[in-house]
Amino acid sequence: METKIVRLGEGEKDEEALREAGKILKAGGLVAFPTETVYGLGGDALNPDSSRKIYAAKGRPSDNPLIVHVCKTEDLYKVAKEVPEAALRLAEAFWPGPLTMILKAGDLVPRETTGGLDTVAVRLPSHPGARKMIECAGGFVAAPSANLSGRPSPTSAKYVIEDMDGRIEMILDGGEVGIGLESTIVDLTVDPPQILRPGFITGEMLKGVLGAVENDVTLFSAAKDQAPRAPGMKYRHYAPKGDLAIVQGNPEAVVRFVNEKLKEAGQAGAKTGVIAASDTAGKYRADVVKTIGDRRDEEVIARRLYGILREFDDENVTKIYSESFGDEEGRTGGLGQAIMNRLLKAAGHQVIRL
């Protein structure tokens, strides 16, 4: 199939492009679009065929549910069987924005969209183009991240084109996204509510509104004997093609250890890579060293992470070491939790503690 690629940010023409996208979605087609978190691969959430097409285009297992994107809070009542008061308070505090809520699914939402579950994931994005497109599409757009299953979520249209060109009807190119990690997911069908995926809206922010909130046990550990509550989490996500390990310890020791390992790997024929903060990046001897940003600037690290993982793929790096960023155990808060959750997944939980 021929994929139409349209740039957003061109003023009046945007309106036309978003309307055309809405038409494609209403007719059962697929459109990739920018949001404030990562690019989404959208289909009509109320049309089971559209959801089937999303799974096919991504190569995603069909028991991994999709998030339903809406353009106004009231639409919660159309997709959820019950809207608890907590959902309204969270919507008031964080919508539009990077927060997804899990609620009991209403009858309007096909089980193809919820991966067979009787719960539904709902989000109201803050990206104005995304909201307009959802409105033009009839109000309910199912959208997982617009990557092939198992690859890092796309943070820029060029990565969407890499993965989706020829597989879907349209790609809306809105440049680089703002946040770079997927939305926070909070399950409101359990008491206390549980964070199934950490993101820009942190545990502390949720606590401020909800009182109590817990982390799902699988967020920071491999926990092979525990079934994650967000079905998507049982799959190895966000994986670069090269073998990635995270090294933790004091910065000097990490540099020394990693340089030794890089030497061995290089001698064994590997193309080597490192992900490092700005203060230590110059000390590594690898084929490719990626500086992710200032260690204290978590927003920059979050925005750069997926792009870096993809760049390693493009450069055919086979052995990668990463420094640890933020909070590896999820004890403290902040965006560090979301960063480490994704990095741990990308590394298949390979962590070397010095």
For ligand AMP, the binding residues (CB under 6 A) are 64-65, 67, 102, 114, 117, 119-121, 144-145, 182, 185, 196, 230-233
φ/ψ of 17, rounded to 5, equals -65, -40
145 binds Mg ion (CB under 5 A): yes
- 351 contact choice in Mg ion, ligand AMP, none (CB below 5 to 8 Å, kind-dependent): none
Q: Which stretch binds Mg ion (CB under 5 A): 145-153, 169-177, 214-222, 248-256?
A: 145-153
Q: Which residue is nearest to ligand AMP (CB)?
A: 232
Instruction: Count the neighbouring beta carbons within 10 Å of the beta carbon of residue 264.
Output: 12
Complex with ligand AMP: residue 60 or 261, whichever CB lies closer: 60
- 113 contact choice in ligand AMP, Mg ion, none (CB below 5 to 8 Å, kind-dependent): none
- 65 contact choice in ligand AMP, Mg ion, none (CB below 5 to 8 Å, kind-dependent): ligand AMP
Which amino acid does the sequence have at 232?
Answer: G
Distance of closest approach, residue 114 Cβ to ligand AMP, in angstroms:
5
Closest CA to 168 of 18, 19, 32: 32
Q: Which stretch binds Mg ion (CB under 5 A): 11-19, 140-148, 258-266, 335-343?
A: 140-148
Distance of closest approach, residue 224 Cβ to Mg ion, in angstroms:
21
- 67 contact choice in ligand AMP, Mg ion, none (CB below 5 to 8 Å, kind-dependent): ligand AMP
What are the residues facing 173 on neighbouring strands? 7
Tokens describing residue 246: 């995270």
Distance of closest approach, residue 237 Cβ to Mg ion, in angstroms:
6
Complex with ligand AMP: residue 87 or 270, whichever CB lies closer: 87
Residue 46 and residue 55 in contact, taking contact as beta carbons nearer than 8 Å: no
Residue corresponding to tokens 């990206």: 127
Complex with ligand AMP: residue 114 or 280, whichever CB lies closer: 114
- 337 contact choice in Mg ion, ligand AMP, none (CB below 5 to 8 Å, kind-dependent): none
Q: Which residues of 132-152 are buried (b: 16+ CB within 10 A; e: fewer)?
A: bbbbbbebbbbbbbbbbbebb
Pairing of strands 194-197, 214-215: parallel
196 sits in which H/E element: strand 194-197
What are the residues facing 272 on neighbouring strands? 319
Residue 181 and residue 38 in contact, taking contact as beta carbons nearer than 8 Å: yes
The Cα–Cα gap between 210 and 212 comes to 6
Complex with ligand AMP: residue 97 or 144, whichever CB lies closer: 144
φ/ψ of 297, rounded to 5, equals -95, 80
- 139 contact choice in ligand AMP, Mg ion, none (CB below 5 to 8 Å, kind-dependent): none
The Cα–Cα gap between 331 and 217 comes to 12
Q: Which residue is nearest to Mg ion (CB)?
A: 145
Distance of closest approach, residue 230 Cβ to ligand AMP, in angstroms:
4
64 binds Mg ion (CB under 5 A): no
Q: Footprint of Mg ion on this chain (CB under 5 A)?
A: 144-145
